[in-house]
Structures are given as structure tokens and as C-alpha cells.
Structure 1
Amino acid sequence: MVRLLFLLLCLALPAQAQRQMVVAAHPMAAEAGLAMLRAGGSAIDAAIAAQAMLALVEPQASGLGGGALMLHWDANTRHLAAWDGRETAPAAAGPGLFLRDGQPMGFYEAAVGGRAVGVPGAIRMLEAAHRRHGKLPWAQLFAPAIAASEAGFPVTARLAAQVAADADRLRRDPQARAYFLPEGRPLAEGARLRNPALAATLRAIAEGGADALHRGPIAAEIAGAVRGHANPGLLTTDDLAGYAPMEREAVCGPYRGFTICSMPPPSSGGVAVLQIFGLLAHQDMLVDPRGVDAAHLLGEAGRIAFADRNRYLADADHVPVPVRGLLDPTYLTIRAQLLDRDRALAAPRPGNPPWQGGAPLASQPPQPEHGTSHLSIVDAAGNAVALTTTIEDAFGARVMVRGFLLNNELTDFSFLPEVEGRPVANRVGPAKRPRSSMAPSIVFGPDGQPVVVVGSAGGSRIIGHVAQTLVAMLDWGMEPQAAVALPRVGALNATLELEAGTGAAALAPALEARGFPVEVRVMNSGLTAIRLLRGPEGVRLLGGADPRRDGVALGD
């Protein structure tokens, strides 16, 4: 009861802190991260503890069986690193993985089972980052999640609803059925859910590091579950043992005196967000945040950016990706001339950025992207983490091993390897990372210090969620909680989407009159954000957690 009252008080008051803060999609994850900060840990330590807890309390979105992309700011060295823990395709995977009789499979025909399971990378990446930036012992970071897995946690309304909606698919896997559908019925809200199998897996990782997941009996069970499924995949124990995370250089771009930095390929999220701001920089954004002009500008900039994304963005380790050209100021100025404040483009087309290489590419046809969770963290030393973590669709591949779900991340590849005889950049390839839309972002002020840490869940809608939230804070002066709670407006490919049940939906007729193809729909964003305000008395931290999820901002 005391803990419940504490959490309700935290939710009722503005999220503010003076030293350190964790914002996560579930209160228990935020608590686990904050406990590490209070023990003297770093932002990386807090991220690992929170990620481990999310594997228990938000299993439908992320966990040990998926991947993650992360920006890390080292306040001491003033170095920004982009850590890539994205899943990879098995070595045996080829362009026809999702074709049947030459035609693309249906999404759930491909996603459910072993076929779409990629090599998980989140824990291996976090381990590498911990070696560089961790302060607490590795094993200590898993203690909260192990204890909670053994004691259990109350099922939230959101988790119960998602289990009920996906019951038919979860029922196909024996372990998932036993866990999520006890006695054949979906989990009920408020039920205490224990996961001793996950506790054992977390204990193995705490003692043996990421090798406990990537080698030995757990790895063998993962590979066996994938290859032995009725919809079999190609993952092997060699694929798991050979996985390597990457440390990359973040992509950054200017915006009205700020510098926005985000994730490079294999994510399309960072480049697309920076393109949106490269276009909006040529516009007066002092408009009503909830009005038709704001929706028009955000939507049209997003539609133009998506046209480039769908043509050019993929794993740059495997295909030429003209990142420099796509973010070139001159190129973006040319693209900005397409944005008319009164009329939408009939059909945005990809541009012709400089510094291209390789064969001419075809644009990838639209296909679903889902899932994901996000953590925003600032520690007492000023280090910051923006971590987006995922198993792709809700409940991933619906295959459960040792208390956690496996990802269906390979469905983020294009099902069609070529269109009209031209290759698609994001086609399947051995050891290739599927294109992501995750956009963990850190914004820097004119003094080079972080002013915003932000990111979101939401599949390819992440791009619009992050862009709208940053515009709200940087242009409209909103505090993080107000920014993440705004009615969602954003592009998805050529369509302008408006959040159902909010004031945004009422804008549809006016936007359609301007030529936009509009869809009103539920928006399951999962934003978390921290705003750093510097003054004579030091830094003040303001946090915001998306009210569409169970998240909370906690700090000291």
C-alpha cells in the first residue's frame, strides 16, 4: 500500500529532479534504474537494470530476446556514442526468406514462429557499454529484476488487454500459452504474475554475462525453438555465438541554435528525424501546437522524409547508404522547397541526394512495424542515455524460451527483394541488420551540453512521435510531460495520421481539403523525455512519460 501511494503521488506531481532521473514505460523499471543511480551507478547501470525489469513487466515490447539501439553521452569526455545492438539475420538467410511462390507472405504468416527470429543483440550491446561506462558490478544490476520475477508483479490493464487481443497466437506456443493463458484464459488485470524461469535466466546472465545467453544451453534452446517450429527459421548456435554489437557515430544536424543527434543506420529513424528538422528549419513554426497548420507542417515534412527513407535507408554495412547526402544542407534546402504551407504534395517522391553509390534502388513497399519501449536517463554526473529496445511486434514471434519471448525482427526487412527489376536496399541478407525506425535522440544546446533526452516506441511511427515531441519542446516551449501527451500527428509513408479520440481527429476535414490522404487511428506511442534546464543554481531535470502507457518519471 505504501508503494502504491508513493507511485500515485509521483504520477500526480510534476516530474522534477535536481541530480538524476529515469523515465521508463513501467514504474517498476523506473524504480530499478533509480535504485542503481542511488547506489552510485551510472546512466548505463540504470539502463541495464531497467531493461532487465522491462523483460518481466513489459514482455510484449522488449526483453532478452530482442535488440536495442542507444545513444550515450559521456559528460566527462564530452563524447557521444551510438551503440548498435540491433538483431542480425542468420548467416543462412537470403532475399527469398519471406517469399512464397514468388509472392510476399502475409505479415503474421511470416512473423509468428521461427522464420522471423533474428539474432538478439540487446544484452550483448549493454554488456559492451557497461565495460566502458558502468560503475556498479554487472551482477548487481540484475538483482531487482530477479527478485521481482520470483515474487511476481501485478498485471497492468494494458498488458492484460494485449494478451487478450493476441490470445490465439500466444496459444500456439506451449511456454507462451502456460505463462500468458493460465488455465486456458488470458491473464486478468491485477493478477500476480511470477516468472521463475526468467529469474533463472537473469541469474545466469548476472553470473556469466551475455555469454550465458549467446552460448551454452540457453543458446541451444533458442536455436532449437526457432528451427523446430512449425514455421521454422534459420537461426543457429553459431549465429548466436558470433553476434557482435557495434559502436557507431551518431548522426547530428542543426536546428535553430540546437544540435539534434540520433541513431545512424541500420536505423532510418535518426536520418528521417533530422531530415524533418532540415525541412522545418525553413518554416515559421510559431503556430498553434494543436492546430491545422502544425499538423500540416509536421505531416508534410514527414511525408517528404519518408519518401527518401523508403528508397535509401538500410544497413550501411551491407549496402551503400548516402547518409551524408541525405543530410546535406543544400540538398535539404532543395527538398524544403517542396513544402507548401497551403497544399499537400499529391505523392512525395524520393529525392536525388549527392554522394550516392551502388546500383539504382527501388523504394520499399510499406509494411507493418510495431512494438518497442524507450528509456531516458540522466545520472548525477551528467551522463545521459537514450535507449530504445524492442522485440518488434507485440509479443514478438510468440515463441517463449526460458521465461522470455523471441523477436520477430526480420520482418523489418523488405519482404520483396526487388521491385521492377531494381534491388530494395532493405532486402534480407546474411548477417545483415534489418532497417529500424528507432530514434533515440539527445539534443544539445549552443554550449554543447545536453538539453533533451527523448525517444519513443511505435514502429515506423516513432519518427513522427519524436519529431512532434521535439518541436513541442524546442519551438513551442512545452515541458516534457505536456509534449509527450500532445494529440499525436505524423506521417506514415504518404499518409498523414491523426490520433483517434483527441482534438487531432477533428483536423481531418481541413487537412483533406488541403490534399492530404488522412487516416484517423489509435496511436500507441511510448514516449519518454527528460528536459535539462541550466541556471545559476545548477541543473533542473523535468521528465515526461507517455500517458498512453504505464510509464513514470522518477528522480532525485
Structure 2
Amino acid sequence: MKQAVVLLFALLLPLSAAAQPSADPAHPPGAAIASAHGLATDAGLEIVREGGNAFDAAVAVSATLSVVEPISSGLGGGGLWLLHDAKSGRDVFVDGRETAPAAATPERFLDKDGKLDSNRAQNGPWSAGIPGLPAMLVHVAEKYGRLPLKQSLAPAIRIAREGFPVYGRMARGYAVKRAVMDRYPGTRAVFSPNGKPIAEGDLFRQPDLANTLQRLAEQGFDGFYRGATAKKLVAGVNAQGGQWTLAELAGYAVKERDPIRFRYHDWTIVTAPPVSSGGIALAQMLQILEPYDLKAMPEAERLHLIVESMRRAYRDRTFYLGDPDFVQVPQKLLTSPAYAAGLRASINPDKATPSALLSGAPTPLEDEETTHFSIIDADGNRVAATQTVNLLYGSGLVAPGTGVLLNDEMDDFALKPGTPNAFGVMGFDANAPKPGKRMLSSMTPTFMESPDKVAVLGTPGGSRIITMVLLGILGYDAGLDAKQVAALPRYHHQWLPDVIDAEPKAISAEAAAALRAMGHTLELPPDEAEGGRGSSHVWGNLETVEWDRRNGRLLGGSDPRYPESKATVLPSP
């Protein structure tokens, strides 16, 4: 019943989520923006109306999400953005991932017994990497935008000063994290003003964050990474026992990388390279699945093959992937059709492959957290952007006087080899922390292009991001539109633990029984299986836009699971 309601909601999305057909099939008939909060979508549309392109709109959407979605992302975090420049035809991956402070060695995250100290890895000053998102905003605005950075940041500055109503997800997340956030005076000043914690419906103002954004708007990179803001950030971290330096902030640099590109059926898929693990995993999974007619298969058979592809991709993620500036990632081999064929040959079509039978050591080779937005403009420029502070409200630490809530991305490193992090994934030497190194990410901003359609998609969701994007791609390939793709039910497997996890109503009772008979272990929500231990809550917040070249229509799909999400199309004048 719940999924039926979700699908009905998707079909009842407002007409503003679609544009009328265009007479010019070479260009979209306007701009489409889908993001996790209506104020952010509106900020992007405001900038488009003022003459900005998709990249200017992306700066506005990103900065506004940093104001209105502190539960998920912010100036104290980082992001991975995929850009398509229509004029040149170039795709570029912009890496604004956080970096490890020099003092944050693996030994700093172990307790007296040599075990991983999860509290230090996930909360407070030691959990925070050097932020990358402010540098990314400056970089994209200056290199790809039409408008001054000051103009694109204006909506976020205005909303931070004037405030916005606290919504349910924000209040619930704060209640979960409050015990940590109350440790720090800078955080209490923002989230418990006058000793009263924020509650749904409150007007939430952030004057310090508005001032920080204003300095960024006026001074660019130096407005955050040097000068007054930088001094306050370092002082705030070090006052709580951390060890940041001004030189580390000033030395941060955005990286531009070549995206991963491969074919799946009639689609060209353009997606995230390392330091994301998502693109390589997508290439492996989709190339494993390409020979199969998934649409014609019975549900259990289809799910079995998709899960087996997930299992193999996540196993490789564990051992081989890390920051390519520090380790040699065998990307060419891992994304090759021949390697995928070898993985496919190891799949028994009738039986699950126990994860324990896949090598547990590397073989020789030559949540509601995070946020995503998708944009297409009338020139055909595209942005798929995922950004994060990692777990709910990141580290919980706001540096006094900045309004900047810092990330807890250090937990995404393999701080203790072979020990799972907060998302249950683990790693080894390839993802061990080193000064200035970027931690491995699951963020997977992605473009799809066929002769008929262009789609932009991505989602939050920790280690589940990659499989949600996979299911979105398979949905588009099956003929679904953007609204339907955003509403698709979700399931996931990540090698270890060796279980299939699923949303409510994602797997029928008949298919679940057949999968168990094949040897799969399922953890389904309690309303679907008696005694089930799986999560009953929904996943992700997939945001997608598509341009159908056959009829010249633009369509936005915003995840119907989250009422504050919004997809809107702005027709060309």
C-alpha cells in the first residue's frame, strides 16, 4: 500500500514539473531543476531568470542547500559534481571532496585496546576533513558560469539572514544528533538559541553563516580559506582538541578529473571517477547485466542477477579504490567489458554466490544524509551534483562565529583496515588516510544519453547511493520517465554483510521466497516478512531531470518520499 501511495504521488506531481514540447529538437525548451528542497530549486530558477546558465544555477542551488539542509550538506563539507558544457561538448568531473588534516593519522582513531574509536571518527573535531564545497562554488562560478559569484550566492545569503521554517526531517535529525551537538558552544548558539532547541515550524535564522557566505561572495577563495573565516574555523576546531592549521586550509585545491564513460544498451553513461567509487561500480554492474533481457525476466530471476552484480562490484570497491592522487587505481581494467564478462561467468543463474566464496583478499591486478540536485538549461548544459557532510549534521561541531557545521568525513577512510565504518563498508590500504588525501566516496552523479533522451540523476544514501543510481538507470532503460524513476522502490547488496536489504514493497513475497530458495539472505521490512529485521524507512532522495528529444519535452522527477523536495521546469521565454 505504501509504495502504491508513493507511485500515485509521483503521478500527481504538479504540471510545473514538465515543459511543453519544443520546436527545436537540438535544444531543451527551457531549464529543469530538481533538488531536495523547494527553496534551493527556487534559488536556481531565480538565477536562470537573471541570465545565469546551469552552472550559475548549480552554485545557487548548492549554496542554498547548505543553508536549508544542514542535516545533509553545507559549507563545512564537500561534493562531487559532474558538468556537461553544451558549447564544447565536454564532460568534466569536479572533485571538491574533503581532505585529511596532517594530524589525522590512523593511530588517532584507535582506543586504548587498538580498536576503532567510532565516536572520534564520527563526532567532533577529529572526524572533520578540510572542507571542499566553498572552493568548488568559487571554481565553478569563475570557470563555467556567466554571472558573478556574488549574484549566484545572493539567494543563499538572503535565506540565511531572513530564515526559513524548520521542517520535519530537519527537526527529527537534530533530535537524533542533539546529544553530540550540545557538546559544542558554537553549535548550541545556532541550533539551541536562548537554550531552546529548534523545533518543526520555527523560523531558523543563521546570521553567522550569512556573514561567512558574504565573505565568500566578495573575496572568493580567500573569503573562506584565508582571513577571518579561516582563523575562526581553525580556532574553533583546535579549541575542541583538534589539530587544524591555517596552511592546510589555504592549501586546499579543487581537482578536475575525466569522468568514466561506457555504453549500456543504447545509452552512453557518463559518471564519477575515483575518488568516487560509484562510477567504477556502475560500469561493472551494468556491463555484467548488459547481455540479459531484464525486462522480460521473472522478478526473482531479475533480482538475483542484479544482486549478484552488486555483490561483485562492492567486493572490488573494498580492495582497489581510493584517492587516485595517492594510490594506483586499476580503473581501465575494472571498467573493461572483458573484466565484466569474467565476473558474469562466475554467476550461477540458479544459486546465490556466498560473499565468503569471493576472495577476501585483493587478487593481483594489472542516509538521509548527503543531498543531490540535477539541472538542465536551455542551452543543453547539464549538472549532476552530489554534496555531503557525511552523517546527520556531520561532526555536530559548528566553529563559533562562522555558522559552518563541519563534516565527519574522516569516517569514510579505512581508519582501521578491515573494520566497517558507519555505513557498514570497509577498506584497506588504498583508502587509508594520509595528509591531504581525499577519502573514498559513494557519491555518483551521473548523465545518461541516448539518441532519444538525456537524463541527469543522483541521490544521497551512503553506501546505497551506487545501487540506487543503478536502479534509476535500469528504470530509464526500461522506458520509465523522470517521475517514475524517482519513485522506484529500492533494494541493495554490498558484498558484506551478505544480505539483501530492501525498502517496503520493493520485493514481492513470491520473489522473496524464490530468492531464499536460491540461497540469498534477505532482511525485509517488518510489514513484508514476519520477524523481518530490515529497515522500515525509505531510502535516498533521488533527484533527476530528463530531456526527451523525440517530443522536445523537459521533465523533472523529485523523490516523492520527501515532501520538501521539488522539481520544476522553467520554459524558455
Q: TM-score, normalised by structure 1?
A: 0.90
Q: Structure 1 residues 351 and 94 mapped into 2: Cα distance closer, same or farther (>3 Å)?
A: closer
- 1:305 paired to 2:303: no
Report the CA distance between 1:545 and its aligned residue: 1.0
Tell me the residue number matched to 2:134: 123
Matched residue SS, 2:140: helix
Cα separation, 2, equivalents of 1:224 and 1:259: 47
Match of 1:189 among 200, 222, 232: 200
- 1:240 paired to 2:249: yes
Tell me the residue number matched to 2:548: 533
Match of 1:256 among 259, 265, 288: 265
Equivalent AA in structure 2 for residue 281 of structure 1: E
Equivalent AA in structure 2 for residue 270 of structure 1: G
Deviations 1:440-494 (A, max 9, x none): 00112258xx7110111011110111001110111x2111111121111121333
CA contact (8 A) 1:33 1:46 kept: yes
Cα separation, 1, equivalents of 2:92 and 2:468: 23
Question: What root-mean-square deviation, in Å, do the aligned CA atoms of Structure 1 and Structure 2 show?
Answer: 2.4
Larger mean CA deviation between 461-470 and 292-301 belongs to: 292-301
Larger mean CA deviation between 488-497 and 111-120 belongs to: 488-497
Match of 1:524 among 529, 539, 562: 539
Tell me the residue number matched to 1:470: 473
Report the CA distance between 1:177 and its aligned residue: 2.1
Equivalent AA in structure 1 for residue 438 of structure 2: R
| Unmatched runs of 5 consecutive residues or more in structure 2 | 1-9, 20-28, 420-426, 524-533
Cα separation, 2, equivalents of 1:387 and 1:243: 20
Cα separation, 2, equivalents of 1:255 and 1:14: 31
Q: Structure 1 residues 350 and 463 mapped into 2: Cα distance closer, same or farther (>3 Å)?
A: farther
- 1:439 paired to 2:447: no
Matched residue SS, 2:126: coil
Larger mean CA deviation between 26-35 and 293-302 belongs to: 293-302
CA contact (8 A) 1:62 1:391 kept: yes
Report the CA distance between 1:91 and its aligned residue: 2.6
Matched residue SS, 1:504: coil
CA contact (8 A) 2:98 2:131 kept: yes
Whichever structure has more strand as a proportion of its residues is 1
Matches within 5 A, 1:465-504: 465-474=468-477, 476-494=478-496, 495-504=498-507
Match of 2:219 among 208, 211, 227: 208
Report the CA distance between 1:32 and its aligned residue: 0.3
Cα separation, 2, equivalents of 1:154 and 1:334: 53
Q: Structure 1 residues 295 and 423 mapped into 2: Cα distance closer, same or farther (>3 Å)?
A: closer
Equivalent AA in structure 1 for residue 413 of structure 2: F
CA contact (8 A) 2:11 2:483 kept: no
Report the CA distance between 1:147 and its aligned residue: 1.2
Cα separation, 1, equivalents of 2:180 and 2:233: 19
Matched residue SS, 2:175: helix
Larger mean CA deviation between 103-112 and 453-462 belongs to: 103-112
Matched residue SS, 1:296: helix
Cα separation, 2, equivalents of 1:351 and 1:442: 33
Report the CA distance between 1:352 and its aligned residue: 10
Q: Structure 1 residues 381 and 95 mapped into 2: Cα distance closer, same or farther (>3 Å)?
A: same
Matches within 5 A, 1:105-116: 105-116=116-127
Tell me the residue number matched to 1:407: 407
Cα separation, 2, equivalents of 1:541 and 1:104: 52
Cα separation, 1, equivalents of 2:514 and 2:175: 37
Deviations 1:1-45 (A, max 9, x none): xxxxxxx99944472123111110000000001111111111110
Report the CA distance between 1:203 and its aligned residue: 1.0
Cα separation, 1, equivalents of 2:417 and 2:264: 36
Tell me the residue number matched to 1:416: 416
Larger mean CA deviation between 111-120 and 93-102 belongs to: 93-102
- 1:284 paired to 2:288: no
Tell me the residue number matched to 2:394: 396
- 1:268 paired to 2:277: yes
Report the CA distance between 1:287 and its aligned residue: 4.3
Q: Structure 1 residues 115 and 477 mapped into 2: Cα distance closer, same or farther (>3 Å)?
A: same
CA contact (8 A) 2:76 2:404 kept: yes
Report the CA distance between 1:337 and its aligned residue: 1.4
CA contact (8 A) 1:19 1:379 kept: yes
Cα separation, 1, equivalents of 2:565 and 2:446: 18
Larger mean CA deviation between 344-353 and 488-497 belongs to: 344-353
CA contact (8 A) 2:372 2:458 kept: yes
Equivalent AA in structure 2 for residue 315 of structure 1: D
Q: Structure 1 residues 391 and 185 mapped into 2: Cα distance closer, same or farther (>3 Å)?
A: same
Deviations 1:355-406 (A, max 9, x none): 946xxxxxxxxxxx87210010011110000010011111001001311200
Cα separation, 1, equivalents of 2:363 and 2:547: 36
Q: Structure 1 residues 108 and 370 mapped into 2: Cα distance closer, same or farther (>3 Å)?
A: farther
Matched residue SS, 2:124: coil
Cα separation, 2, equivalents of 1:336 and 1:153: 50
Equivalent AA in structure 1 for residue 209 of structure 2: L
Tell me the residue number matched to 2:382: 384
Tell me the residue number matched to 1:295: 303
Matched residue SS, 1:439: coil
Q: Structure 1 residues 505 and 209 mapped into 2: Cα distance closer, same or farther (>3 Å)?
A: farther
Q: Structure 1 residues 145 and 11 mapped into 2: Cα distance closer, same or farther (>3 Å)?
A: farther
Q: TM-score, normalised by structure 2?
A: 0.87
Report the CA distance between 1:102 and its aligned residue: 5.8
Matches within 5 A, 1:317-466: 317-347=325-355, 349=358, 356=365, 371-401=369-399, 402-417=402-417, 424-446=429-451, 451-466=454-469
Cα separation, 2, equivalents of 1:258 and 1:277: 11
CA contact (8 A) 2:86 2:381 kept: yes
Cα separation, 2, equivalents of 1:352 and 1:261: 30
Matched residue SS, 1:205: helix
Cα separation, 1, equivalents of 2:108 and 2:330: 26
Match of 2:557 among 544, 548, 551: 544
- 1:64 paired to 2:64: no
Matches within 5 A, 1:4-153: 11-13=13-15, 15-17=17-19, 18-101=29-112, 103-153=114-164
CA contact (8 A) 1:498 1:504 kept: no
Q: Structure 1 residues 309 and 235 mapped into 2: Cα distance closer, same or farther (>3 Å)?
A: same
Equivalent AA in structure 2 for residue 427 of structure 1: A
CA contact (8 A) 1:321 1:356 kept: no
Cα separation, 2, equivalents of 1:392 and 1:423: 20
Tell me the residue number matched to 1:179: 190
Equivalent AA in structure 1 for residue 485 of structure 2: A
Larger mean CA deviation between 541-550 and 497-506 belongs to: 497-506
Equivalent AA in structure 2 for residue 553 of structure 1: A
Cα separation, 1, equivalents of 2:502 and 2:336: 32
Q: Structure 1 residues 350 and 72 mapped into 2: Cα distance closer, same or farther (>3 Å)?
A: farther
CA contact (8 A) 1:97 1:428 kept: no
Cα separation, 2, equivalents of 1:553 and 1:492: 30
Larger mean CA deviation between 205-214 and 502-511 belongs to: 502-511
Equivalent AA in structure 1 for residue 327 of structure 2: V
Matched residue SS, 2:469: helix
CA contact (8 A) 2:490 2:539 kept: no
Matched residue SS, 1:286: helix
| Unmatched runs of 5 consecutive residues or more in structure 1 | 1-7, 358-368
Q: Structure 1 residues 159 and 10 mapped into 2: Cα distance closer, same or farther (>3 Å)?
A: farther
Tell me the residue number matched to 1:366: none
Cα separation, 1, equivalents of 2:543 and 2:549: 20
- 1:555 paired to 2:569: yes
